[in-house]
């Protein structure tokens, strides 16, 4: 038996790195039955003679999108091309922080000029103390990123075409496949599965791009705490159950903070939009439930 880490998976076979040696393994049915799917990033016990994964070591964390395990950093890649979706950035941050993974925003393609976007990101996320690193794969501008990766496991995440694979190529002079954007400025989902690359003492994951991600809150009440930079003001609200929606600044400390520019207006608007969506859904559910009770 050896312990190793799953570096990649193709057609049901997992490439496991154990002490620098690679073993292409199948998974025992009992493992999948009891724990579920093996993920890239998993530490596993392997039978090196049978080339089988016998056990998954309990995960430090387990992300849904990208679907990888045991991370230290989530590198949230953002660029002006393809156009960024700030709701996805919000939700990636929520997912990372809930899993004890450090979110880091990586602005890509700085050679195209990303000052406006970087400023907007700073305004949106300064309340969360998240590092924002500006890079360009094209100009090999990645030095500011390297020191954050040492001795850590970090996954590049974000929309298709934002330049995740290109950044890894720039970091390790590798030759991972990349693709031009489509005519309408979208990525082409070039990377189709996650993979770990070793860069000295850093483990870096390339992952497939995606175009949607939810926050996973089930109730409006739960949602209110997902934006800590906004929620921290609620101690000052007059009513304990304040939802900060259409409230007067006299009653609501969140609205006061917003008026004093202590909360970013754009981020607050997304917060309210998300909250309203959930309350709408909850009311609809309630209505259907009541109708069924009457029947």
Ligand X SMILES: Nc1nc2c(ncn2[C@@H]2O[C@H](COP(=O)(O)OP(=O)(O)OP(=O)(O)O)[C@@H](O)[C@H]2O)c(=O)[nH]1
DSSP 180: -
Q: Which does 114 bind (CB under 5 to 8 A by kind): Zn ion, ligand X, Mg ion, none?
A: none
Of 71 and 137, which has the nearer Cβ to ligand X? 137
Q: Which stretch binds Zn ion (CB under 5 A): 91-99, 101-109, 201-209, 251-259?
A: 251-259
- The residue among 92, 71, 125 whose CA lies nearest residue 214 is 92
- Does residue 267 interact with ligand X by CB under 6 A? no
Give least dist CB 251 to Zn ion, A.
Answer: 7
Tokens standing for residue 6: 């799953």
Q: Does the footprint of ligand X cover residue 165 (CB under 6 A)?
A: yes
Cβ pair 221, 76 in contact under 8 A: no
Q: What angle do CA 109, 118, 211 make, to 5 degrees?
A: 65
Question: Does 292 sit near ligand X (CB under 6 A)?
Answer: no
Near Mg ion by CB under 5 A: residue from 118, 135, 136, 191: 191
Interaction residues for ligand X, span 186-225 (CB under 6 A): 187-191, 208-209
**Distance separating alpha carbons of residues 88 and 111, to the nearest angstrom:** 24
Q: Which of residues 132-171 bind Mg ion (CB under 5 A)?
A: 164-165
CA terminus-to-terminus distance, the chain: 61
Contact between 242 and Zn ion by CB under 5 A: the answer reads yes
Instruction: Report, in Å, the least distance between residue 129 CB and Zn ion.
Output: 23
- What residues are paired with 199 via a beta bridge? 202
Q: Does 160 bind ligand X (CB under 6 A)?
A: yes
Q: Binder to ligand X among 118, 136, 195, 243 (CB under 6 A)?
A: 136
Minimal distance, residue 187 CB to ligand X, in Å: 4
Binder of residue 5, out of ligand X, Mg ion, Zn ion, none (CB less than 5 to 8 A by kind): none
Q: How much helix, strand and coil, in percent to the nearest 5, is found in the chain?
A: 35, 25, 40
Bridge partners of 103?
74
Return all residues near 134 (Cβ < 8 A) that are at least 6 apart.
Answer: 107, 110, 114, 118, 141, 144
Token output for 143: 């030095």
Q: Are 220 and 279 in contact (CB under 8 A)?
A: yes
Binding site for Zn ion (CB under 5 A): 237, 242, 244, 252, 254
Binding site for Mg ion (CB under 5 A): 164-165, 190-191
Binding site for ligand X (CB under 6 A): 108-109, 111-112, 136-138, 160-166, 178-181, 187-191, 208-209
């Amino acid at each position: 038996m050896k312990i190793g880490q799953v570096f990649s998976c193709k057609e049901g076979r997992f490439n496991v790195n154990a002490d620098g040696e690679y073993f292409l393994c199948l998974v025992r049915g009992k493992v999948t039955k009891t724990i579920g799917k093996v993920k890239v990033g998993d530490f596993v016990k392997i039978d090196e003679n049978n080339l089988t994964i016998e056990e998954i070591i309990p995960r430090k964390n387990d992300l849904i999108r990208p679907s990888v395990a045991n991370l230290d950093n989530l590198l949230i890649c953002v660029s002006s091309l393809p156009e960024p979706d700030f709701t996805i950035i919000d939700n990636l941050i929520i997912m990372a922080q809930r899993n004890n993974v450090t979110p880091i925003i990586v602005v890509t393609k700085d050679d195209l000029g990303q000052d406006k976007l970087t400023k907007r990101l700073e305004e949106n996320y300064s309340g969360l103390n998240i590092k924002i690193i500006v890079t360009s794969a094209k100009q090999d501008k990645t030095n500011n990123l390297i020191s954050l990766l040492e001795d850590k496991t970090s996954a590049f995440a974000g929309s298709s075409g934002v330049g995740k694979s290109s950044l890894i190529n720039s970091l390790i002079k590798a030759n991972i496949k990349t693709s031009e954007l489509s005519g309408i400025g979208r990525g082409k989902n070039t990377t189709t599965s996650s993979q770990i690359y070793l860069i000295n003492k850093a483990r870096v994951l390339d992952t497939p791009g995606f175009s949607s991600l939810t926050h996973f809150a089930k109730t409006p009440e739960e949602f209110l705490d997902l934006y800590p930079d906004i929620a921290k003001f609620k101690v000052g609200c007059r009513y304990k159950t304040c939802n900060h929606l259409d409230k007067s600044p006299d009653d609501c400390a969140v609205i006061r903070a917003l008026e004093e520019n202590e909360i970013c207006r754009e981020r607050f608007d997304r917060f309210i939009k998300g909250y309203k969506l959930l309350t709408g859904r909850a009311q609809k559910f309630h209505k259907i439930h009541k109708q069924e009770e009457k029947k």
